[in-house]
Structure 1
Amino acid sequence: MKLRHPKDFAAGLLYVGVGGAFAVIASGYRMGTAARMGPGYFPFWLGVLLMLIGAAVIFGALRGKDAEADAKLSGWDLKSLAIVLAAVVLFGVLLQPMGLVAAVAVLVLVASVASHEFSWRAAALNAVVLVGLAVVIFVYGLGLQFHLWPALLAG
Structure 2
Amino acid sequence: MRSFIRSPKDFWSGIMFLAIGLATVVIARDYPMGDAGRMGPGYFPTVLGWLLAAISAITLIGSLSARGAPMERFAYKDMLLILGSVLLFGLLVRGAGLACAIPALVIVSARASAKFRWGPAIALAIGSAVFCVLLFVKALGLPLPIVGPWLGA
Q: Percent of pairs identical after alignment?
A: 36
Shift of 1:130: 2.8
Pairs within 5 Å for 1:61-72 = 61=63, 64=66, 66=67, 69-70=68-69, 72=70
Alignment equivalent of 2:124, drawn from 126, 134, 143: 126
Figure out how many residues of one structure are paired with residues of the other and give that number: 149
SS state of the match for residue 114, structure 1? Answer: coil
Code of the residue aligned with 1:11 in structure 2: it is S
Distance 1:29 1:91, change over 3 A: farther
Partner of 2:15: 13
2:83 matched to 1:85?
yes
Shift of 1:84: 1.1
For 2:132 and 2:16, the matched residues in 1 are separated by 27
For 1:153 and 1:82, the matched residues in 2 are separated by 27
Q: TM-score, normalised by structure 1?
A: 0.68
Q: Deviations over 1:40-71 (max 9, x none)?
A: 6766565455445534544554565x5xx32x
Distance 1:143 1:115, change over 3 A: same
Distance 1:30 1:152, change over 3 A: farther
In angstroms, what is the RMSD of aligned CA positions? 3.5
Partner of 1:146: 144
- Of the two, which has the highest radius of gyration? 2
SS state of the match for residue 143, structure 2? Answer: coil
Give unpaired runs (5+ residues) of structure 2. none
Give unpaired runs (5+ residues) of structure 1. none
